[in-house]
Amino acid sequence: MRLSRNILAFLIAFLLIVFSFIPVLIVSGLFKHKKFLFSQSRLVIKTTLTLFGVHVKVRGLAAVDFSVPQVVICNHLSNLDGPLLVSVLPVNPRVLIKAEARKIPLVGWVMKLADFVFVDRSSLQRRQEALAAAIEKVKKMCYSFLVFPEGTRSKDGRMRDFKKGSFLIALRAGVPVLPVKISGTHQLMPPGRKTVGAGTVEIEFFPRQELKNIAESELAEFIKKLQQKFYADKNHENH
């Protein structure tokens, strides 16, 4: 059942991409129509997830003010996390994503057109360049960014300590961070699995956190306290 459902979902997603994304790429590439790009991407994501049998419960989103740019931070359990968050956020977030994603056929082109920032994690200099690019986009384009501060997906469903990168973007760009916690995706598609199980995912939005009065030397302590406050139970699949 799971395999047949996945085959059907991938087939329909492929057809949507072929008949929807190619025109989207042309329109977005020629006319820089980013909103159209994101709206069509959400259509493909939501349709595909529905076919997979993935349902989403969202808490706290209505209380968030998205009138200003912010850096959305979230724990990372599965390849489902990014698409799910993009599908529920009421803004068009750019994503700080590993450079390898740029090589994904068609999807990599969509990410590039959407102004995602690709991070080459093999070089400190290139990581710094990626952070600088994200900061510039927040300042000049007023983009909100989505970042997974653990740096990679959890292999066992437990959270790793957050890295500083996403917080440096927020601090240097003068915007708040918005903590988000996702639960359930590790069970549906853990790292290494190619198919997606049916089930419910929970996404919880917390109050945004200002960094205006925090020095970079105090950032490590700020991150530690934030993680303890909003992600106290690091075993996300059992919280």
C-beta neighbour count of 22 within 10 angstroms: 12
Q: Number of structural domains, the chain?
A: 1
Write out pLDDT tens, residues 7-25. Answer: 776 777 667 666 666 666 6
Residue position matching structure tokens 């009138």: 67
- The H or E element that residue 181 is part of is strand 177-183
In a domain, 81, yes or no: yes
In a domain, 45, yes or no: no
In a domain, 95, yes or no: yes
In a domain, 49, yes or no: no
In a domain, 16, yes or no: no
In a domain, 17, yes or no: no
In a domain, 22, yes or no: no
> Which residues are within 8 A (CB) of 108 and not within 5 positions of it... i.e. 6 or more apart?
101, 102
The string of DSSP letters for 45-81 reads HHHHHHHHTEEEEEESGGG---SS--EEEE---STTH
| Confidence (pLDDT) at 11 | 78
CATH number, domain of 214, equals: 3.40.1130.10
Rounded to two decimals, the pTM is 0.88
State the Cα–Cα distance between residues 176 and 174, nearest whole angstrom: 7
CA distances from 78 to 2, 23, 74, 191 (A): 18, 29, 12, 6
Q: Which bin fits 35, alpha (ψ -120 to 50), beta or left (φ > 0)?
A: alpha
In a domain, 31, yes or no: no
Write out pLDDT tens, residues 95-112. Answer: 999 999 888 877 788 888
Q: Which residues of the chain have pLDDT under 70?
A: 1, 9, 13-14, 16-33, 233-239
State the Cα–Cα distance between residues 64 and 67, nearest whole angstrom: 9
What residues make up the domain containing 120? 56-238
Number of residues that this document lists for the chain: 239
| Confidence (pLDDT) at 7 | 78
| Confidence (pLDDT) at 238 | 46
